[in-house]
Structure 1
Amino acid sequence: MNLLVICQYYYPEPFRITDICESLVEKGHDVTVLTGLPNYPEGKILENYRRGKKRNEIINGVKVVRTFEIGRGTTKFQLFLNYISYTLSASIKAFNLKEKFDVVLVNQLSPVMMAIPAIVYKKKYNRKILLYCLDLWPASLIAGGIKEGSIFYKLFFIISKWIYSSVDSIAVTSSMFKEYFKSKLFMNIENIQHIPQYAEDIFAEIEEKKENRKFNFVFAGNIGEMQSVETIVKAANEMKEKNNIMFHIVGDGSKLEECIVLSKKFKLNNIIFYGRKPINEMPQYYSFADAMLITLKNDKTISYTLPGKVQSYMAAHKPIIGSINGETRRVIKEAGCGYCCDADDYKELSKIILEFCDSNQQKLMGANGYDYYIKNYSKKSFISTLEESLIKLGG
């Protein structure tokens, strides 16, 4: 099968689509990725990709075609320019692609407009599209502070519905996404299937934590508006007198500096910020964790989401402590792999962390999470299901 993948983000940016594409190549498929210029999450185009460099690469068997985009920057206006520039340049590039692919896969994060180049290609060559939805639109706008009744929201409601209606099949990462498509976008959900994310293989090979006298709690991932990492900082402040508890924040994003400033304001000695680390270094941070942390903003639309870090935490045999609502909370409870409290509730988060420290079920929680991962989120199952869906569309 000759597959065209469209996603604004790709290696060296830290997204799972890179592993997916390389896995499809290993299965014998030809994969070409139409993507942008690496600038996530720092907001600046990497130096070795500027001035027309590295526009065509082959990375681990995947053909990577890069098109122009403006860096994300640090402001909402710059981010808007980033979204629009990629959509326009990738649409032109897609229209001018001479190769006829069997099927198109869109790995749809934010913005939803990254799917437009696929629709352009579809209309020219009459090829079908499978859209893998990781971020709900226009719901993501509300989570970012846009009011539902605003003209901006209404415009993107129309755009989002048109995009989702223009593809041939949709796969979603969270089972609750289906309800959103049905109740908010008023769409038929017969062609929507649930394909949850998986964890890269390296997370299942993490060595067991060495015994020490401290409890270590690790958050790993993007530190943005939706992740509400400030909830962890505030919880750390509640426990600043507990000398046996440490918090470790591994990642980068638009809210990192704000969280660092907050920790300095509280004069905290029990929290460490490591910044962004490459995926091959992540196991060392997971290894010393007694439990992993997950926080999300207190927002109904965000509660539909099941972040990919949940699968990574489970694959690593780690208990999960969450300040979250909705789908993620349901999964943790169903798996029996940790403790949860309401989103943004830092006082309750500090309480359940202390409860975890006193528990004799810590290893059992980690084992429960891993068992749940194997049954529901294995990489083998994901690739197999995705491959079957693509072959069905392209056949």
Structure 2
Amino acid sequence: MRVLLISQYFPPETGGPPNRLLSIANGLREAGHEVHVLAEKPNHPEGVIREGFREGVFNERTYDGIPVTYTWVYTDPEKNFLKRLAFYLSFMVMAVVGALRTKGDFDVVLASSPPLFVGLSGWLAARLKDAKFVFDVRDLWPDLAVAMNELDGTLKIWLAKRLEHFIYHRADAITAVTNGFCEAIQSVTGLDTPVQRVMNGTEPHIFQRDEAGKELRDENGFDDRFVVTYAGNIGICQSLDHILVAADRLEGGRPEVLFRFVGSGPVKEELQQEAERRILDNIEFHPRVSLDEAAAHMAAADALLVPLAAHEIYRSFIPSKLFDSMAAGRPVLLSVDGEARSILEDAEAGRYYPAEDGQELANSIRWMLNHPEACTEMGENGRAYARTHCTREAQAKRMTAFLEELVDQAASG
């Protein structure tokens, strides 16, 4: 089976989307299939194409043994609606051109979104390459963009929904990362289009960094502190300002609690300014680090935060950070109701608190301070659950089996 994988984000860019697609590509290769990837020239999050990728329109490289065509995209460090649109549309066009440049036909074109425009690239590439078109949905767009106030105006929303429905109806099959997403998609496509859940996952060996965590605690001198860490994108949809409320509530009565933010994002500066305004001495901000370093920061924590904003749409989300946090072997403080909460409670790996509720977060941390043995057990439970149910390897095998079945049915039909 020859698979053309189209994703705007792919290593050496870092984060959940690139790592997910790398694991899928590796899973397909390990099953004996041929994979070629089309991705943008790495520029995230700086908005500047990295050194070594700036020559030419296309760069043909190999990453981890996988042939990759990196395409030029419009980038700009300053982002607004029009610049983001140009960014997405430029990749949509260049991905189709890149597909034309690849040799031979393919059995499957797997296009992973967001952005939604990647779906158009995948559909056109599949027609050009005489392939089945499979659309991989990691976020529900445009619904998420509307919830985050990134997309407004009746006409814009209507056009985006029309595009979403157009792509869904032209896909031969669809994969999505949660059951909630699958149900929403199936309500549009009907039962004739196969829709399969292929979750995000984790790589447990990356996050088993207990010794590195101890060293980091020693270096920073907070062995006597109860460290609560958020590691990741400091963005709008996480709604992290309630953590400052919790820090404010705990600073006087429980001075041993230390909150640490590790990462970067559009609201980081605003959070830092608010922490300074509140004169909070129990909060630290650290820059974005490599995945390996982030795993050490997570291992150095006593509890890990996995928050999202208080919006109904997030009930259908499972943050990939949940799997990584469980794999780190630390109890999780989760503020995402729905499927994510069910996983946490099934694993007995932490405590849920209502989204954006700083007081309840503070209460949950007080409970953890009073129940250290239970916290240790939660961490162990989470690590065991992640190893058994949430590995990227297992999800890659699930994707591979789904694509194999689709191609076999087409061949026999």
Question: Normalising by structure 2, what TM-score?
Answer: 0.88
Which consecutive residues of structure 2, in runs of 5 or more, have no partner in the other structure?
A: 218-222, 409-413
Q: Give, as a single letter, the amino acid of the residue that structure 2 aligns with 1:294.
A: V
| Distance (whole Å) between structure 2 residues aligned to residue 327 and residue 204 of structure 1 | 23
SS at match of 2:227: strand
Q: Pick from 226, 230, 253: which aligns with 2:241? A: 230
Give CA deviations for 1:233-275 in whole Å, capped at 9, x if unaligned: 3322322223211112122222222222222222222222222
Is residue 380 of structure 2 the alignment partner of residue 391 of structure 1?
A: no
The farther-off stretch of 321-330 and 59-68 is 321-330
Deviation at 1:33, TM superposition (A): 0.8
Structure 2 equivalent of residue 293 of structure 1: 305
Matches of 2:192 and 2:407, distance apart in 1: 21
- SS of residue paired to 1:233: helix
What amino acid is the match of 1:250? V
User: Which amino acid is the alignment partner of residue 81 of structure 1?
Assistant: A
Give the superposition deviation at 1:312.
0.8
Q: Which residue of 2 aligns with 1:10?
A: 10
Q: Can you give the 5+ residue segments of structure 1 that lack an aligned partner in the other structure?
A: none
Instruction: Identify which range, 288-297 or 246-255, moves more after superposition.
Output: 246-255
1:191 lines up with 2:202 in the alignment: no
How many residues are paired up? Answer: 393
Q: Deviations over 1:73-111 (max 9, x none)?
A: 333222222112111222232244333222122222x21
- Distance in 1 separating the partners of 2:392 and 2:232: 19
Fraction of identical pairs, as percent: 28
Letter in 2 for 1:198: G
1:94/1:120 contact within 8 Å kept: no
Are 2:381 and 1:377 equivalent residues in the alignment?
Answer: no
Q: Residues of 1 paired with 2:406 and 2:292: CA distance?
A: 34
1:219–1:294: 8 Å Cα contact kept in structure 2? yes
Counterpart of 1:262 in structure 2 is 274
> How big is each residue's C-alpha offset from its partner over 1:156-187, in whole Å with a ceiling of 9 and x where there is no partner?
0000111122111112111111232245x364
- Which stretch of structure 1 is more off in the superposition, 159-168 or 95-104? 95-104
Match of 2:46 among 42, 45, 48: 42
| Aligned with 1:336 (options 348, 370, 373) | 348
- 1:19–1:200 CA contact under 8 A, matched in 2: no
Q: Which range moves more in the overlay, 265-274 or 145-154?
A: 145-154
Q: Which moved more, 1:312-321 or 1:13-22?
A: 13-22
Q: How has the CA–CA distance of structure 1 residues 281 and 159 changed in structure 2, closer, same or farther, with 3 Å as cutoff?
A: same
Please point out which of 32, 35, 56 is paired with 2:36. 32
1:27 to 1:194, Cα distance in 2 relative to 1, 3 A: same
From 284, 296, 299, give the equivalent of 2:296.
284
CA-atom RMSD, angstroms? 2.2
Comparing 197-206 with 284-293, which one deviates more in the overlay?
197-206
C-alpha separation between the residues in 2 aligned to 1:181 and 1:51? Answer: 40
The counterpart of 2:361, out of the listed 325, 345, 349, is 349
When you count helix as a share of all residues, which structure comes out higher?
Answer: 2
- More displaced, 294-303 or 228-237? 228-237
* 3-state SS in 2 of match to 1:313: helix
Please report the TM-score for the alignment, with normalisation by the length of structure 1: 0.92
